Amino acid sequence: MVKTIKLPSPKFRLHLNKLQLANRGFWAVVKKEVGDHLSGKRFLILSLIVLVTCLGALYVAASTIRSNVSQDELDFVFLRLYTTAGSSMPFSFLSFIAFMGPLIGLILGFDAINGERDRRTLSRVLSQPIYRDALINGKFVAGVIVIAMVIYGLGFLVAGLGLILTGVPPTLDELLRLLIYLTLSVIYISFWLALAILCSLLFRQTSTSALAGIAIWLFLGVFFGLLAGIIADGLYPVTDSSTAEQIIANDKAERLLSRVSPTFLYNEAVSTIMNPSIRTLGLVLIQQTYGAIKGTLSLGQSLLLIWPHVVGLIAATLICFALAYISFMKQEIRA
């Protein structure tokens, strides 16, 4: 008995060909953008600044750790390479990445679309067998790949040099915490990349989109915390005669408002994951410390504390990129 083989319908074959064509166009954009980013002078200059400063922070942290270990045995010495600051350099590796990380994302994406318009290459690119969604998706994914290369490379470089300077190998818990911290950093910087791409779509001039991204960065990183504190003081004023309930209500309101900012979410999350001694994210009164057992949190318990922060950072990144995607798909592109 001869079996008949049912061939795919012409509509299905056409749809499959479109998917294959879109996939080829997507990876072509990714390869081209990654090469452009890695060979660009502005990216190399910024990476060099970040590298030199982070290595300086590592040296100060290692010197501080070696001088303090003889006085008092330190726990989680390997993690302290990333969290310890000194008098000569008043910031740690953690705080420097939190400050400079958004600039990497903004630099990678502030001219993603309007730069193509200025060079009059956008219509030429789309005239090739490359769909619109493949173009913007490829630019975003290429930026994320470059960010991951920089952050993971820098993090492991600091780990290797710190191991040489201190001679203390990391435990499995410390290594996992470091990997989670680096992943959170990639997600956080990817948010600023998505925001920069959105600004490049909303503004025609590259200088305007760059200034808009920097203004949002300064507002969310510096002024938003001050604004949250002012609003919290207005809702729950704290005076010398305030009760404990009023102080707690003020702190809760300030933290709730501050967590709207991805910068605050990131800082709170990485501080918790890199410092196992942090066992709560809220205000702790002296009465609540009576009878408490001194200790540190396990990795699983620290993850439970920062899980809402991780979800918030991922959601903010996806929402920002979704807005950029919708805006790009609706824009009219002329030759």
Domain parsing of the chain, residue ranges: 20-330
- pTM higher than the cut 0.75: yes
Task: Report the percentage of the chain scoring pLDDT > 90.
Answer: 21
Structure tokens at 147: 């960010």
Q: Tell me which of 246 and 226 has the higher pLDDT.
A: 226
Does position 321 have pLDDT exceeding 90, yes or no? yes
Confidence tier at 7 by pLDDT (50, 70, 90) = very low
In the numeric block, which tokens belong to residue 164? 């040489």
**Predicted confidence band of residue 192 (pLDDT cuts 50, 70, 90):** very high
Integer angstrom CA distances of residue 292 from 129, 279, 287: 65, 11, 10
Q: What is the mean pLDDT of residues 128-147?
A: 86
Rounded-to-integer distance, Cα 140 and Cα 143, Å: 5
Cβ within 8 Å of residue 97, ≥6 positions away: 54, 151, 185
Helix extents (H) in the chain: 10-39, 41-69, 77-83, 93-109, 114-118, 122-127, 132-166, 172-202, 206-218, 224-235, 244-258, 262-274, 286-289, 299-330
Average pLDDT over residues 55-65: 77
Answer whether residue 100 shows pLDDT above 80.
yes
**Residue 281 CB coordination number (10 Å):** 16
**CB of 84 closer than 8 Å to CB of 65:** yes
- The per-residue pLDDT for range 264-311, each reduced to its tens digit, is 999 999 988 988 887 777 666 555 555 556 667 788 888 888 999 999
HSE value, Cβ hemisphere, 13 Å, CA-based, for 17 = 8
Mean pLDDT taken over the chain = 81
Question: Which pair of structure tokens corresponds to residue 329?
Answer: 């798909």
What separation, in Å, do the N-terminal and C-terminal C-alpha atoms of the chain show?
59
